[in-house]
Amino acid sequence: MIRVDCMTTIDFDPPTRCVVGTVGQPGERTFFVQVRGDSRAAALSIEKFHVTTLADRINDVLDRVAGAAASEAAAALVADNDPLDTPIEEDFRVSTVRLLWDDDRNAVVVELFHEDPDEIPDTAGVRIWLSPQHARAFARRALAVAAAGRPPCPFCGGPLDPDGHICPRANGYRRQ
């Protein structure tokens, strides 16, 4: 695994693997985007919110512009359901996500950046070029991984721990 230089944006064009996965138990999971190219690899920790938003927006873009190339059947042919590669060594924590559609190449471009001036003086980033079917497969896996956590409370929508939670809709009483 290479370390991402703080002055560099690394291109994976195209990647040999690009997946979302987690480490840890529900409620304490860390989400990662792992991407691998011919001679490079990166493991980027990312917030669950970023994962679900990115996946939703990828699906929206593909629904509008990609047609049959991004169908469920096409995505199923390239789906990657294998676990994350180990060992997992975080290259950086994602703080900014950008999604682009490249009309000339008929590809989704995902850009993930770390922009914390206290940790790294300049932006570190990864740019990933995905075909429509690979982008759809990435989005489907990302949403499935995010949904595999704690079930939502039927009253407030907040996550339920195995021993319940203090539900704001129940005036602070513990829901099981």
Per-residue pLDDT reduced to its tens digit, 88-128: 999 999 999 999 999 999 999 999 999 766 665 465 899 99
Residues 138-157: tens digit of each pLDDT: 999 999 999 988 888 887 87
Report the alpha-carbon angle 7-123-10, nearest 5: 60
- Which residues, other chains included, contact 26 with Cβ-Cβ below 8 Å and sequence gap of 6+? 148, 149, 150, 159
| Domain segments of the chain as ranges | 9-151
Q: Classify the C-alpha dihedral 64-66-71-77 as positive or negative.
A: negative
pTM (two decimals): 0.83
Residue among 36, 32, 61 at smallest CA distance from 135: 61
Domain 9-151 in CATH 1.10.287:
no
Instruction: Report the pLDDT averaged over residues 65-85.
Output: 92
